[in-house]
Amino acid sequence: MIHFLANPARFMRIGARVLPWCWAVAALGMGAGLWFALVSSPADYQQGDSVRIMYIHVPSAWMALAVYSLIALVSAMALVWKHPLGYLIGRAAAPLGTGFTVICLVTGALWGQTSWGTWWVWDARLTSVLILFFLYLGYMALASAFDDPDRGNRAAALLAIVGFVNIPIIKFSVDWWSTLHQPASVLRSGGPAIHPSMLTPLVLMAVGFAAYFLALLVLRVRAEIAGRKVAALMMASAMGGAGSNPARRERI
Amino acid sequence: MTMARPPRRALTAKRRRLYVLVAAAITLGGAAALVLNAFEDALVFFLTPTDLKTRAVPDNSMVRVGGLVEEGSLRKSGGGIEVRFAITDLTNRVEVRYRGILPDLFREGQGVVAQGRLGADGVFRASEILAKHDETYMPKEVADALRKSGRWKPGAKNQGAAPATGASP
Amino acid sequence: MDTIGNALYLGGYGIYVWPAFATAAAVLCWMAVSTVARLRGAERSLDRLRRARAKAAAPGGEAAPAEALNGQGTDP
């Protein structure tokens, strides 16, 4: 399965087929989610209408974690099996994951100010998510730091794998240490502690975010593949045009 | 026969890389666990009233105390700006004095984190009060219905008046 | 008008809720715009290089493909 999908051309053919479905699910999920989040869901018994921030804060936090996990996974596969597609997916996913982390941090600050009474505290949950943000930045910086793209890819992949330690820390920080941030409401033992009327917009939004990410990921991987072809062509022509056969190098 | 199979050397190289990576990941995870364990105190955002009593907290040092606002302990004076209440972890309690505006979610029986200094008289003088809320979300009508039917479990597991899990509509 | 005002006010929490949703919308839009820009840019330079190479391969043509990226205006 892994080796079957690792062929970039095959991956892109499958990507092209799922792309319209991703857009459809993203539009439906986010559209319906927005309706439920802002109009049809009730206010919270404690927090009133400020609870509506949850419907974007929590899905973006899930995406920030999921996208990083994906990058770590494909990085490990790229390092072990030398599948260049893993590097391409990682590079394509990183800016999107950074975006979700930014949404999570900004909406979290706004929500924190209204519910806790502070924009920011250095508790374990908030700090570890900020570290996640810097890991994303570091990954992107490393991936493009070297003249030789392969070296950059390997260095960034290594950082992604090392940084994966942070993911369980983020998830369980609220259980392991005393934090200002409350424990998990949905993914916890004993079932969700959220009323169904408020779980609906949360789940819809999360599905929408995930589909939106997948759609953009397919397009970004396509761009990365095109970018590699450009680099290969430039290299071929730089190495003395007439004699070499650029068509061979163009294949990844 | 030999053509159908991938060369053995390539296979072992991949295997080796996989094993190295797995070993590195395990080592890294172990190291991270040790480091986090060692820094446990620094990772804790607040102390409980029991911690405050049992641990040697240096006199007049800035600390955070967290717990529940004790039911019936809230007193306001000076036009509501002078506040006194007690923080409890259901084992120990500490008196808190605070001058300022309380956050919206500050309520008796709810979670709170106070930052300040513990005086020699045992009274905690807070300079900042943060409200802490639990992980339960539900509409007001549901909360009222739960209270009415007596299925409300105050202070069940975490801070705050958390009802039994799986709130039904 | 009043109902709209009430809806936006959100019991006083509107000043936190709306910026949160606006931030999310802005970042999500940026993701799409930057993705499309990247894809377009990469595909355009790939096209240009390929065309230049085809020209070079044809008899008489000796243009080096690497220059095609810089000389944007000279393409037919």
Q: Is the pLDDT of residue C1 over 70?
A: no
When pLDDT is averaged across residues A186-192 and rounded to a whole number, the result is: 84
For A145-160, write each residue's pLDDT tens digit.
888 888 999 999 999 9
- Residue contact A183–B158, C-beta within 8 A: yes
Of C23, C36, C45, nearest to A230 by CB-CB distance is: C45
Cα gap A196→B92, rounded to integer Å: 36
**Residue count (chain A):** 252
Interface predicted TM-score of the whole assembly (ipTM), two decimals = 0.89
**Which residues of A are less than 8 Å from B43 in CB distance?**
124, 173, 176-177
Q: Please report, for chain C, the start and end positions of each structural domain, with discontinuous segments joined by +.
A: 16-70
Please state which of the ranges A159-163, B42-46, B164-168 shows the lowest mean pLDDT. Answer: B164-168
Other CB atoms within 10 A of residue A250 CB: 17
Residue B125: its pLDDT value, please? 92
Q: Please report, for chain B, the start and end positions of each structural domain, with discontinuous segments joined by +.
A: 8-40, 45-132
Rounded to the nearest angstrom, the minimum Cα separation between A8 and chain B is 20
The count of structural domains within chain A is 1
For B124, the enclosing helix (H) or strand (E) is strand B124-132
- Residue contact C66–A237, C-beta within 8 A: yes
- Residue contact A80–B104, C-beta within 8 A: no
In terms of CA atoms, which chain A residue is nearest residue B103? Answer: A117
Residue B5: its pLDDT value, please? 55
For C52, the enclosing helix (H) or strand (E) is helix C14-57
In terms of CA atoms, which chain B residue is nearest residue A183? Answer: B135
- Residue contact C10–A237, C-beta within 8 A: no
3-class SS of residue B129: strand
DSSP strand pairing (B124-132 vs B93-99)? parallel
- Residue contact A233–C38, C-beta within 8 A: no
Of B40, B135, B137, nearest to A198 by CB-CB distance is: B137
Residue B4: its pLDDT value, please? 55
Of A110, A223, A238, nearest to C19 by CB-CB distance is: A110
Cα gap B143→B150, rounded to integer Å: 11
Three-class SS of chain A: CHHHHCCHHHHHHHHHHHHHHHHHHHHHHHHHHHHHHHHHCCCECCCEHHHHHHHHHHHHHHHHHHHHHHHHHHHHHHHHHCCHHHHHHHHHHHHHHHHHHHHHHHHHHHHHHHHCCCCCCCCHHHHHHHHHHHHHHHHHHHHCCCCCHHHHHHHHHHHHHHHCCHHHHHHHHHHHCCCCCCCCCCCCCCCCCECHHHHHHHHHHHHHHHHHHHHHHHHHHHHHHHHHHHHHHHHHHHCCCCCCCHHHHHCC
- CA atoms within a 13 Å half-sphere pointing along the CA-CB vector of B166: 3
The amino acid at residue A219 is L
192-231 in A: which are within 8 Å (CB) of B? 192-198
Rounded to the nearest angstrom, the minimum Cα separation between C20 and chain A is 5
Cα gap A114→C16, rounded to integer Å: 7
3-class SS of residue C73: coil
Q: Is the pLDDT of residue C74 over 60?
A: no
Q: Is the pLDDT of residue A140 over 90?
A: yes
Q: Is the pLDDT of residue A244 over 60?
A: no
Which CATH number is correct for B45-132, 2.40.50.140, 2.60.40.1180, 1.10.1530.10, 2.90.10.10? 2.40.50.140
For B99-136, write each residue's pLDDT tens digit.
988 888 898 888 999 999 988 888 999 999 999 988 88
Q: Is the pLDDT of residue B167 over 90?
A: no
CATH code of the domain in which A24 resides: 1.20.120
3-class SS of residue B132: strand
3-class SS of residue B139: strand
B115 has a chain A CB within 8 A of its CB: no
**Which residues of B are less than 8 Å from A79 in CB distance?**
17, 21
Residue A187 lies in a domain: no
Residue A173 lies in a domain: yes
For B9-31, write each residue's pLDDT tens digit.
556 788 888 888 888 888 888 88
The DSSP bridge partners found for residue B84 are B75, B97
C57 has a chain A CB within 8 A of its CB: no
For the entire predicted model, the pTM comes to 0.86
B18 has a chain A CB within 8 A of its CB: yes
Cα gap B22→B121, rounded to integer Å: 55
Q: Which domain holds residue A155?
A: 19-41+51-181+193-217
A81 has a chain B CB within 8 A of its CB: yes
Highest-confidence segment of A21-25, A141-145, B35-39, B147-151: A21-25
State the pLDDT confidence band at A249, using cuts at 50, 70 and 90. very low
Q: Is the pLDDT of residue A35 over 80?
A: yes
Of A43, A162, A188, nearest to B140 by CB-CB distance is: A43
Residue B161: its pLDDT value, please? 36
When pLDDT is averaged across residues B48-74 and rounded to a whole number, the result is: 87
When pLDDT is averaged across residues C13-39 and rounded to a whole number, the result is: 96
Q: Is the pLDDT of residue B39 over 70?
A: yes
Measured at the alpha carbon of residue B53, what is the angle toward residues B94 and B66, in degrees to the nearest 5?
A: 50
Residue A105 lies in a domain: yes
Residue A1: its pLDDT value, please? 60
29-48 in B: which are within 8 Å (CB) of A? 29, 32, 36, 40, 43-48
